A and B are shown apart, each in its own frame.
Chain A
Amino acid sequence: MDHNWQKQFVLKTIDSKLIKGARSLSSEEALLVYYQDYQARMLEALGKNYEATWVMLGDEEFFQLANDFIEKFPSKHFSLNQFGENFPEFLAINCDDSDIFLMSDYERNFWKLFHQDANEKKILKQEDIEKGLFDLSQIYFFESNVDLQLIFKNRESGISEDLKPFINESKRYALYKMNNIVKVLELNLNQFHFLKELKDLKSFLKVKPIPLKEEDWPIIFEVLSFSKTH
């Protein structure tokens, strides 16, 4: 028996004479049980991690893209939860619809947040604001023609069959973790640009002036209260 039989098994080139199938299964059929099981497991993992993307694409297109992805990017990590980390980029290249990319990117970030430490809300002090330094690296900002709050509600209750998440206008969102729960918050245009720029530049002092109204601030403080402490 060749020392490389494991590599041959993986590459599907193993000599079938080495194999005896269960009961009436031929050796080829027995091997197929394992190969098909792998495909099904990976498909299930992608479907679980990108559930809303699946709903938006529909079964046929999702399965086709997912199967192509599984073929091209075999799982290498010990945890199935990690499988498909680069699926959004794969969709961006292989799928014409930019909202699908945003959806899958949102799901990936949701998953990352879900597995983070419980993020405690902190009371913003005057000195925090005076220093003007905020780390928003754990907060994700999105702009999309997809109604994320609808998707989000369905994620909590189970995705419905007749989900119609596309909307005519573009909406803006912040995704963050509050204690042990991932939250999505809708932002107006000014709030979104201000916070997104603050996330990139990490300092109030560096953010270029944006015409914020008084009523914009409560939401901004809400988001800032989940920033990481310096």
Chain B
Amino acid sequence: MPANNLFGMGLRHAHFEEILKKFSDDPKSLGLDFFEIITENFLETRGRPYQILLKLREYYPMSFHGVSLNLASNESIDFDYLSKLKKLENEIEPFLVSDHLCWMGTKDKNFHSLLPFPYRMQEVNMLSEKIDKIQEFLGRPLILENLSAYMQFTESEMSEAEFFLKLHKKTGCHLLLDLNNAYVNFHNFNTHWQDWYQLISSDVVKEFHLAGFSDRGEFYFDTHSNPVHDEVWKLYQDFKRKFSNAATLIEWDEDIPSFERVLEEVQKAKSYGS
């Protein structure tokens, strides 16, 4: 199923009751085009969250967004994790499967955080090899999300956008462009979002993520705890003109408001991006 210009939100436990109530009134009228799940939350459960996922899937396309591929780690690929992902993929048939351009930790300690790494040719080669194997295993192109960061490596040889472009050319992987992350990095490091706009061709971006950051005084922190910032909305309008076929997702993961409030953000994206 193509991702063409769909508008959705992250499926969160906090909204289950509201969604189910609306769903029982009219399952087709939740007011959005798709839901995105955090893949790891559904890999090892067959309980209530999974049953709700199945119910929603009858009426709505789903996309998978993972946080555990650990691509940039020096550790080898975790095929146990991938097998579970593939099983869920077969059950739900998502239209997108994405993860992050980052590392999460070593086998001795998983930080559960999206950690930056140096953007060098040796990392391009290491990640390309892994991406090829993962894409072959899953039987579909991977979609990778750009990071927000609070530190960079002094030995980086290129920008994150240039790094991604090399990966794309070697492996055919696609991009999930998180404009909030691009904006946070612009503030934190002055790395310009125009890199993404100018370097990446329109068919490579499959999805946008939009969320709200927190101002920590000395830097911006990507908390997903606020409405989308005005400056990010402006960016979105510009980018959506070029990458018009990409799906758009609103993420809200902390201090989560009502389903209806998040839906307002989805509708706003629709009005800017249709």
| Residues of chain A whose beta carbon lies under 8 Å from any beta carbon of chain B | 1, 3, 6-7, 9-10, 17-25, 27, 30-31, 33-34, 37-38, 41-42, 74-82, 113-118, 180-181
Residue in B40, B68, B151, B219 whose CB lies within 8 Å of A34: B151
Residue in B68, B109, B188 whose CB lies within 8 Å of A23: B188
- Structural contact, A78 and B81, CB atoms closer than 8 A: yes
Q: List 21 A-B contacts (CB under 8 A).
A: A6-B74, A10-B105, A10-B106, A10-B109, A19-B154, A22-B189, A22-B218, A23-B219, A25-B151, A30-B150, A31-B151, A34-B115, A37-B113, A38-B112, A41-B113, A74-B108, A76-B107, A77-B110, A114-B48, A115-B46, A116-B46
- Structural contact, B218 and A25, CB atoms closer than 8 A: yes
- Structural contact, B68 and A1, CB atoms closer than 8 A: no
Known contacts A3-B74, A6-B73, A78-B78; is-contact A19 B153 (Cβ 8 Å): yes
Interface size (B, Cβ < 8 Å)?
A: 41
With a cutoff of 8 Å between Cβ atoms, the chain B residues found around residue A27 in the complex are: 151
A116 to B48, CA, bound (A): 8
- Structural contact, A19 and B46, CB atoms closer than 8 A: no
With a cutoff of 8 Å between Cβ atoms, the chain B residues found around residue A30 in the complex are: 150-151
A85 to B3, CA, bound (A): 38
| Residues of chain B whose beta carbon lies under 8 Å from any beta carbon of chain A | 40-41, 43-49, 51, 68, 73-74, 78, 81, 103, 105-113, 115, 118, 149-155, 187-189, 218-221
Known contacts A75-B112, A76-B110; is-contact A23 B218 (Cβ 8 Å): yes
- Structural contact, A79 and B44, CB atoms closer than 8 A: yes
Q: A10-B109, A75-B109, A180-B48 are in contact. List 13 more A-B contacts (CB 8 A).
A: A7-B106, A10-B105, A18-B153, A22-B219, A23-B187, A34-B151, A37-B113, A38-B113, A76-B107, A78-B68, A79-B68, A113-B47, A117-B47
- Structural contact, A22 and B151, CB atoms closer than 8 A: yes
